[in-house]
Amino acid sequence: MVIPNQSADPARMALANRVFFRLYQCANMLHKTGTKAVEAEGLTTQQWAVLGALSRPEAGDGMSVGDLARYLKVSRQALSGLLSRMERDGRLRMAPDGRDRRSRLVSMTPSGLQVWQQEALPKIHDYYEQVIGDFSVNDITHTLHYLLRILENMQRVDDMQGGVEPEEA
């Protein structure tokens, strides 16, 4: 059992609790409302994240399952089922990595690329506009800055805890 830091400022801890609870709520609402935004394309927010990761220029030749899991901050086990469903649906292909036969490279199929670029992205951009359309560029920049700092600190905590992979994608 972890004993709370007794010297922590109660007001600071109350604010921290509110921040983390709001992050939790945002993650849940992103999953709920984001999935509705792309459900006509047969996508979920998890599939949206996979296609988004694979659409980046640096992933043009595909990504190993391990690299994709690390990039998305999910376990290989959770990602495995998701990738299998997306491969079954024709959105991705998995092939042995020419450099390491034990590793598999994940890449988008032409069908997956078309769904991503022509069907999903316009709806995702509309979704972004609905959610943060009233944010200024400065607001967006600051939000991104603080979310990245939180993520970096969470990664440091994870590394100190031994880097146990999360159980859900």
For 95-135, how does the pLDDT look when each residue is reduced to its tens digit (9 = 90+)? 887 777 778 899 999 999 999 999 999 999 999 999 999 99
Q: What's 90's DSSP letter? A: T
- Pairwise pLDDT comparison (17 vs 6), residue with the higher score: 17
Q: What share of the chain is helix, strand, coil (3-state, %, to 5)?
A: 65, 5, 25
Q: How is residue 165 written in tokens?
A: 């992979």
pLDDT exceeds 70 at position 1: no
- Summarised one tens digit per residue, pLDDT across range 130-157 is 999 999 999 999 999 999 999 999 999 9
Average pLDDT, the chain: 91
Would you call 113 helix, strand, or coil by DSSP? helix
Given a cut of 70, whether residue 69 has pLDDT beyond it is yes
Coil, strand or helix: which one is 162?
Answer: coil
Burial of 15 (0-12, 13-18, 19+ CB in 10 A): exposed
Cβ atoms within 10 Å of 34's Cβ, excluding its own: 21
Six token digits for residue 76? 């290989």
Res 168 pLDDT > 50: no
Q: Which residues, other chains included, contact 130 with Cβ-Cβ below 8 Å and sequence gap of 6+?
A: none
pLDDT tens for each residue of 20-51: 999 999 999 999 999 999 999 999 999 999 99
Q: Tokens for 164, please give them.
A: 């146990």
